[in-house]
Amino acid sequence: MSMIFFACVVRVRDGLPLSASTDFHFNPDFLECRKRLKTLSSILAQYPSRGTAKGHDLSIHFLSSGDIACMAICSSNYSTVMAFCFLEELQWEFAASYDTTSISLASRPYAFLEFDNVIQKVKCHFNCASGSQTKANWEKIEEELKFRPPVQLKLEDTELMNGMANGGHTGVHVEVVPTYRMQRVTPLGILSLVLNIMCGALNLIRGVHLAEYSFQEDHEGIGNVIAFFLPFLACVFQCYLYLFYSSARKVKTFVLFFSICLCNIYLYGLRNLWQIAFHIGVASLSSYQILTRQLMEKQPDCGV
């Protein structure tokens, strides 16, 4: 059955449980998942703000912000987007009820026992929610998860985490970095890469030759040397932007394109109009390919 089975709020710095839903499930898989959630809660500070530990039947989702983290055990077929919608609402409710001072001063487990009823209420709401009730928040969270996917773990990995924590080696860990899958490289994209590499090579060769002459005889030609080397670097970075995801891609793409245009206009005299048009044309094609190659669309786990 697709649902949220358990939820809790913990303190990020030490994993101290502050509040939890009052659910009693005696299924061995669930009890084992609870143990692994406890282990994971003690090292949340090592991970990004969102994460998912996938299991065969059950999964753990966590969302941390500031001093607290909200965690949930859900069935593995429960929508990831809905799980993070639930955790975000839970986090908002807790932050509205308690200040950072009281959270920091909490010294015993489940110090905010009265919040258990709120967790239970929100959990029941999401287990029974219809599509129209959660549509607005769904779209927002889905967009966020598309550009900042949660770190992916396996429930089996918590065995190693537990051993490291008990052995006193919590300082040594491998941080899992979220990856971004881009759409397939197109034939036109490959052509733009080849032309870009060719333009970069031409800029580098001309720049090196001009630098040898300028530094020996004509120091006034250093501006031209820079005008060759800048487009070379811009061509290299354009290739990188096309092949790999980078934040603020649009801004970087336009900055690189205008840099290539300005440098080629500056070089008028050393290059004729046809050469300038060729370099600007290649830069235009590369910029278009960068802007049209987007992240892979992630399909929602279930339709709500």
- Enumerate the domain spans of the chain: 4-163, 182-295
Query: Confidence band (pLDDT; 50, 70, 90) for 129?
Result: low
Q: What is the pLDDT of residue 199?
A: 93
Which secondary-structure segment (H or E) carries 194?
helix 187-216
Say which range, 24-28, 215-219, 267-271, has the weakest mean pLDDT: 215-219
- Residue among 102, 83, 88, 136 at smallest CA distance from 18: 102
Residue type, 37: L
Say which range, 7-21, 90-104, 243-257, has the weakest mean pLDDT: 243-257
Residue 23 has pLDDT above 90, yes or no: no
Residue 163 has pLDDT above 80, yes or no: no
pTM of the model: 0.53
Range 204-217 burial, b when 16+ CB lie within 10 A, else e: bebbeebbeebeee
Question: Over the chain, what is the mean pLDDT?
Answer: 81
The class (CATH top level) of 4-163 is alpha beta
The Cβ of residue 294 has, within 10 Å, a number of other Cβ atoms equal to 11
26: left (phi over 0), alpha (psi -120 to 50) or beta: alpha
Question: Are 33 and 155 in contact, with CB atoms under 8 Å apart?
Answer: yes
Each as own residue / partner, the long-range contacts of residues 160-169 (CB below 8 Å, 24 or more positions apart, any chain) are 161/39, 161/40, 161/43, 162/36, 162/39, 165/39, 165/42, 165/43
Which secondary-structure segment (H or E) carries 9?
strand 4-11
Q: Cα(91)–Cα(85) distance, rounded to whole angstroms?
A: 10
Residue 280 has pLDDT above 90, yes or no: yes
Q: Which residues pair with 154 in a beta bridge?
A: 54
Residue 25 has pLDDT above 80, yes or no: no
Residue 172 has pLDDT above 50, yes or no: no
Q: Cα(248)–Cα(47) distance, rounded to whole angstroms?
A: 23
